[in-house]
């Protein structure tokens, strides 16, 4: 499946400058695409647009060549894409397990199916009794992030949008999560993830998109990046791109 973005522009109401300017991109849903860029570069805005949380954009989207209307949340609702926001918002009085069951239920899954889908994440994120016994209002930042990520993946989406997925996770969870992303990509289920953690993102990505001033300043495979001009690694490339 290919998601093409054509001349996408967006300005927040009242903002003096557009947050996104003429963004032309092509996303292959079988790949892990990494979105990097400075604060305010437009990474999160792009993900919010794709998940239907912002309306009033210019340009168009094509999904497998057919025009799509993403401001109605169709990518999540109809095409069953997954989504995990940068700031995980959870319902304060439910436990993490109840949140996951709830989302699974809204995606048409029964409890055994949710339990089955949850198992690899329980191992990867070392989710203990807190998932069942504690209300989400008592969770730490990392716990919230783990639950939010599981909610994004519980229905095994063909593609997922992840905004800062590594933020707040402990090193073991980051390591295991990267393995999970790679195993999903191996069976053709990729993600679009934005991250400031270049080291983690660099080790999991197939394709790199660098955002600068609301537009895609670079888009290409990681392999080309390593070979291109002796950039060496993502960090070096980042500094070279954003210093100029």
Binding positions for another protein, rule: CB under 8 A: 12, 48, 51-56, 71-74, 76-77, 83, 85-87, 89-95, 98, 101-103, 105-106, 108, 130, 132-135, 137-138, 151
Minimum gap (Å) between residue 235 Cβ and another protein? 27
Minimum gap (Å) between residue 173 Cβ and another protein? 20
Beta carbon nearer to another protein, 130 or 222: 130
Distance CA 176, CA 125 (A): 7
* Dihedral of alpha carbons 106, 107, 112, 117, sign: negative
Minimum gap (Å) between residue 112 Cβ and another protein? 14
On whether the CB atoms of residues 87 and 38 are closer than 8 A, the answer is no
Measuring CA to CA, which residue among 71, 65, 73, 64 is closest to residue 30? 64
Beta carbon nearer to another protein, 15 or 186: 15
What tokens were used for 62? 């094509």
Strands 20-28 and 2-10, by their bridges, are: antiparallel
Minimum gap (Å) between residue 150 Cβ and another protein? 13
Beta carbon nearer to another protein, 77 or 224: 77
On whether the CB atoms of residues 24 and 219 are closer than 8 A, the answer is no
Beta carbon nearer to another protein, 2 or 132: 132
- Phi, psi (rounded to 5 degrees) for 155: -90, 15
Minimum gap (Å) between residue 43 Cβ and another protein? 13
Beta carbon nearer to another protein, 56 or 220: 56
């Amino acid at each position: 499946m290919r998601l093409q973005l054509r001349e996408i522009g967006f300005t927040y109401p009242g903002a003096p400058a557009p947050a996104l300017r003429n963004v032309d991109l092509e996303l292959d849903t079988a790949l892990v695409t990494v979105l990097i860029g400075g604060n305010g570069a437009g990474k999160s805005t792009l993900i919010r647009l794709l998940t239907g949380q912002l309306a009033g954009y210019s340009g168009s989207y094509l999904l497998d060549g057919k025009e799509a209307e993403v401001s109605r949340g169709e990518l999540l609702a109809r095409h069953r894409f997954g989504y995990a926001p940068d700031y995980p918002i959870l319902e304060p009085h439910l436990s993490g397990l109840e949140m996951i069951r709830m989302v699974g239920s809204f995606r048409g899954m029964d409890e055994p199916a949710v339990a089955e889908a949850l198992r690899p994440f329980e191992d990867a994120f070392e989710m203990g009794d807190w998932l069942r016994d504690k209300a989400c209002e008592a969770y730490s930042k990392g716990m919230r992030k783990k639950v939010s990520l599981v909610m994004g993946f519980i229905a095994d989406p063909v593609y997922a949008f992840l905004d800062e997925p590594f933020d707040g996770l402990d090193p073991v969870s980051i390591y295991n999560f990267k393995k999970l992303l790679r195993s999903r990509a191996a069976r053709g289920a990729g993600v679009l993830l934005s991250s400031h953690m270049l080291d983690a993102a660099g080790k999991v990505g197939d394709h790199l998109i660098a955002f600068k001033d609301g537009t895609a300043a670079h888009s290409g495979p990681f392999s080309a990046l390593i070979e291109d001009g002796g950039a060496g690694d993502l960090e070096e490339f980042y500094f070279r791109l954003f210093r100029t």
